[in-house]
Structure 1
């Protein structure tokens, strides 16, 4: 038997594993999924400040949503433009070929995502005015259940056992916090109205996530995926128009009357939406909607902690235990790092 070629001898002697193109592609995809996971964690932290900024704003509920989206449009436009330029470099158009930014189907689904998101903002901001910060955050995050069920039935994203365990841990933690928060709210009927609005917000946010996931997926049945920047731009523009129309029709105060109110809506636009929702939209192209919705429960911990520091809403021991369970669920949900084959 002849010896191996000189170029391969050292590798063979050391027992090195030569990766096939398929294995290299798998590792690259796994790396992208891990990046998307950590992007969602950062998104949850940013979105966790939403309720705090809303509390500090001095305009109407729908107007808060409008300004949030307006201040987020600048970074979103930059993202969409950079995304299109990168696409042009990867796949240059033939001379004379018109540039197609999106199909009619993609435009329709992205606009539907925007309508769902605008309705979510209005319902959540109205609900937050009639209940505690903890209650509002916890009930609104029941979107996890809706996303899991519809994502399974409509998108064919069957949840894994690990994800179901993460869901049990996370929802178990939210139940503990809800039970304590509900007991702290005076039983005058006002909080029930706020809770119902937050439930409606949860349903609307689930619709936003599923529509975004649908337009961000690629495959033979629905063509190339639409980039996260373009999806965010279309959805944010649609949601801004929705919120503005609602605010005008409801006769809300539209313009912030103080520096605090202005900084609050700017923070909502740049931190909660441009960064938080932008990272979520990016991740929806790589991860299941159900997994992302579980990780986003981390925003509950952030929001309730900030409410305790700023508004004196000190969490009880039960709330702390519930928060720990939420974090445990996030750890379980984390996608693992596959080994080379």
Structure 2
């Protein structure tokens, strides 16, 4: 048992670092929008992020041959283009903590899309998780007190759904074999980035205010959130059981809510806090479905 624990320790450290990088990035992205429009920031972030990932591919000696084109294109348009543009737009009007939480409803969309696309019928435990999540989501959205944040919330949920499409597409591609996680991540990001760049060029936005803080946000996103974090993720998936790796889907949005409270003063109301607890419990049910 000691040997197993020792072998997992580096992967658990990687998971903790990954959680810190991705959860705090919601604060970085929210503050970066003070200096840039969402589309131009997304384009710059992922151009540099793609460069970092392909550099990692070269350093690791992996083949630069692209995975199957059409599945990779679908994954890139969903997981990079759709997800990033939806959540960046949501951050314009919505809080960083709420946006993170709603975007990380991705596991629930995976269950539903997997059922429709792959025939993976949800178990009773998954249905219970979806029901608890729906109750928590209703409390977070708080529709009986007005729908002022409904647009931002819908964009964040759409981002989560796009991410889920990318996850299901990746699962189908991995089942065919012959594609590494890092190669697929790099190529789908490149393809998705090309679409983001086109949209950023076409949609008019306010000029970028180049400042030390904005440049720092780009560096954080390119090197850490888009580069190092995906490398850590591939390492975690390789070394840890799926249910343990899946815990990041639970910890990251909750940590994002905490950072938003501490850094941005986004204190949840009692109703929102109750909803957050319910969604966290539902995420645990979904992510730990293989743990018991």
Which bin holds the TM-score, normalised by the shorter protein? 0.7 to 0.9
| C-alpha displacement of 1:110 | 1.8
Deviations 1:4-31 (A, max 9, x none): xxxxxxxxxxxxxxxxxxxxxxx99xx9
Residue 164 (structure 1) aligned with residue 122 (structure 2): no
| C-alpha displacement of 1:312 | 0.8
1-structure distance, mates of 2:189, 2:96: 24
Residue 128 (structure 1) aligned with residue 91 (structure 2): yes
Match of 2:256 among 298, 303, 313: 303
Residue 101 (structure 1) aligned with residue 65 (structure 2): yes
Contact in 2 for aligned 1:133/1:304 (Cα 8 Å): yes
Equivalent position SS for 2:55: helix
Contact in 2 for aligned 1:61/1:126 (Cα 8 Å): yes
RMSD across aligned positions (CA): 4.1
**TM-score of the superposition, structure 2-length normalised?**
0.77
In the alignment, what sits opposite 2:31?
Answer: 56
What is the number of residues matched between the two proteins?
Answer: 285
* CA radius of gyration, larger in: 1
Contact in 1 for aligned 2:90/2:152 (Cα 8 Å): yes
1:7-86 equivalent positions in 2, closer than 5 A: 42-57=17-32, 58-85=35-62
Q: Relative to total residues, which structure has the larger helix share, 1 or 2?
A: 2
Deviations 1:75-125 (A, max 9, x none): 31232224445xxxxxxxxxxxxx88245xx23222221111211111111
In the alignment, what sits opposite 1:23?
Answer: none
In the alignment, what sits opposite 1:8?
Answer: none
Relative to structure 1, is the Cα distance of residues 233 and 271 closer, same or farther in structure 2, using a 3 angstrom cutoff?
same
Deviations 1:174-203 (A, max 9, x none): 854762x4449973x541211221222121
1:86-235 equivalent positions in 2, closer than 5 A: 101-102=65-66, 106-116=68-78, 117-155=80-118, 164=126, 168=129, 172=132, 175-176=135-136, 179=139, 181-183=140-142, 187=146, 189-217=147-175, 222=176, 224-235=177-188
1-structure distance, mates of 2:231, 2:138: 28
Relative to structure 1, is the Cα distance of residues 329 and 307 closer, same or farther in structure 2, using a 3 angstrom cutoff?
same
| C-alpha displacement of 1:330 | 7.6
Structure 1 range deviating more: 280-289 or 39-48:
280-289
In the alignment, what sits opposite 2:288?
Answer: 333
Structure 1 range deviating more: 257-266 or 271-280:
271-280
Contact in 1 for aligned 2:87/2:156 (Cα 8 Å): yes
2-structure distance, mates of 1:192, 1:214: 33
Contact in 1 for aligned 2:26/2:256 (Cα 8 Å): yes
2-structure distance, mates of 1:289, 1:157: 17
Contact in 1 for aligned 2:86/2:155 (Cα 8 Å): yes
Equivalent position SS for 2:93: coil
In the alignment, what sits opposite 2:222?
Answer: 269
